Amino acid sequence: MLKAAFHTLGCKLNFSETSTIAKQFSNNGFEIVDFNSYSDVYVINTCTVTENADRECRQIVRRALRNNPEAFVAVVGCYAQLRPEEIASIEGVDAVFGSNEKFNIFSHINKFEKSHLSCIYIDDSEGRENFHEAHSTDADSRTRAFLKIQDGCDYKCSFCTIPLARGGSRSQSQKDVISSFKQLLFNGYKEIVLTGVNVGDYSESDGENLYSLLSQLVEIEGDFRIRISSIEPNLLSEEIMNLTSQTNKLVNHFHIPLQSGSTKVLRLMKRRYDSELYRDLILKLTEKIPNIGIGADVIVGTPGETLDDFMETYEFIKGLPFSYLHVFTYSERPNTYALTMNGQVEKSERKKRNHMLRILGEKKKNEFYRKMIGKELTILFEGNLADNEMFGFSDNYVRVKHPLNFDLVNKFTSVKITDVINGVCVPESNKITSKKILTG
């Protein structure tokens, strides 16, 4: 039996799509193995958002070929869609598949044999606007499943290449989402993460939107919880907030991209909100939903961001109850409007600002975790077990460590947090019970 291994860069959407591609290999007789082991085929799913994407891709290709110098190496995804010639020139790469063609690998390749020339399969036609179903499969060993419900983006942020790589916004039908959702529950997953490029933009031609989809999903019978991977602040509606406060099946956690706390910089980025709207949203969420965890993406060093603008962002974040930050340094992307903008920030200054926000993010996370001491949290422990310990996440996305107990893996477990050690919450080990998630 031939072996295939997979490596994913980027967002949860990419993980769901990698899982679907892996399932195709499994259905064609391949054994799925760990990327760090010997394999006949290595598939690398790339991300255009990742900083230094070219260098990172080259490193991963070299790592694969160290495991097996004769392996067939395929690079797929967003970065492959945008820079196919660059990727094809990387030594050891045998095939490049774009955003659409990565789901059709077996239509193009009959024999996975190494070649001196790299083949490129890129679709720039309207066919790239089709919706390709993707979700976690039995090729994964996770307790959380990723379910793709939306793809592409109609926003034109000045720094972003995702619309170029993935096309316009489109959504899976509610009927198909519900069918896939139920199948994931049948397969034993307890947490379903709804993913997409712009999940909040989920919609159908008959007017159905993300709120109506969530309203149907929470009525499905079963012991599960739902998490939204990320949602734009201008799309997080009052209806979604109210529904979250009314049911335990929607977790009390939202990841809401900020990018900047300066309204001036947000306008330069061509974002669809200002800092005042964002602040009001965060305060409303904390008022409506107890113990809510709120994460944010922030980009530093975008063209036009002065030191005063950055400090405005710093103070803005400092004054709001975030539970964690994802901090990114602006990097130039081909074919983006930002390349034409004035006020380029020196790379050394970008790095300095990144470091400052990362420290602030760690402080915010520690502060939030310490607020959980003495509280009862519901944890879903993961199946990745090592060193006689296991880890899991609470509804509000707090990471918890516990001594190894196979009986608790993939079960909702009620714990009382007693301490925070090395950035992880620790519960009372002798007072834990499994529980079921009930609607209401």
Say which residue the tokens 């012991």 belong to: 223
Helix-, strand-, coil-residue percentages of the chain, each rounded to 5: 35, 25, 40
Task: With a cut of 70, say whether residue 433 has pLDDT above it.
Answer: no
Q: Collect all residues with Cβ–Cβ distance below 8 Å to 352 and sequence separation of at least 6.
A: none
Q: What pLDDT shows up at residue 69?
A: 95
In 3D space, the residue among 262, 267, 209, 268 whose CA is nearest the CA of residue 239 turns out to be: 209
Task: With a cut of 80, say whether residue 378 has pLDDT above it.
Answer: yes
Q: What pLDDT shows up at residue 126?
A: 43
In 3D space, the residue among 261, 150, 229, 285 whose CA is nearest the CA of residue 397 turns out to be: 229
Which structure tokens are listed for 74?
A: 């395929």
Q: What pLDDT shows up at residue 432?
A: 62
Interatomic CA distance for residues 247 and 143, integer angstroms: 21
Interatomic CA distance for residues 315 and 63, integer angstroms: 41
Q: What pLDDT shows up at residue 356?
A: 98
Tell me the CA end-to-end span of the chain in Å, nearest whole number.
49
Q: Are 144 and 380 in contact (CB under 8 A)?
A: yes
Q: Are 47 and 78 in contact (CB under 8 A)?
A: yes
- Report the amino acid identity of residue 114: K
Per-residue pLDDT tens over the stretch 55-101 = 888 899 999 999 999 999 999 998 899 889 989 999 999 999 998 89
DSSP letter, residue 250 = B
Q: So where are the chain's domains?
A: 3-128, 131-251, 253-371, 376-434
Interatomic CA distance for residues 224 and 344, integer angstroms: 47
On average, the pLDDT of the chain sits at 91
Q: What pLDDT shows up at residue 440?
A: 45
Interatomic CA distance for residues 415 and 58, integer angstroms: 43
Q: At CA 128, angle to CA 124 and CA 98, rounded to 5?
A: 65
Which structure tokens are listed for 394?
A: 């609470």
CATH of domain 253-371: 3.30.750.200
Using DSSP, state whether 63 is helix, strand or coil: helix
Query: Does the domain at residues 131-251 carry the CATH identifier 3.30.750.210?
Result: yes
Task: Give the rounded percent of residues in the chain with a pLDDT score beyond 90.
Answer: 74
DSSP letter, residue 252 = S
Q: Which residue has the higher pLDDT, 129 or 143?
A: 143
Q: Are 10 and 49 in contact (CB under 8 A)?
A: yes
Using DSSP, state whether 417 is helix, strand or coil: strand
Per-residue pLDDT tens over the stretch 204-256 = 877 889 999 999 999 999 999 999 999 999 999 999 999 999 999 999 999 99
Task: With a cut of 50, say whether residue 268 has pLDDT above it.
Answer: yes
pTM, full prediction: 0.88
Q: What pLDDT shows up at residue 219?
A: 97
Are 131-251 and 253-371 equal in CATH topology? yes
Per-residue pLDDT tens over the stretch 10-63 = 878 888 999 999 999 999 999 999 999 999 999 999 988 766 777 888 899 999
Interatomic CA distance for residues 199 and 171, integer angstroms: 9
Task: With a cut of 50, say whether residue 330 has pLDDT above it.
Answer: yes
Interatomic CA distance for residues 423 and 420, integer angstroms: 6
CATH of domain 3-128: 3.40.50.12160
Per-residue pLDDT tens over the stretch 392-424 = 999 999 999 988 888 898 999 999 999 999 999
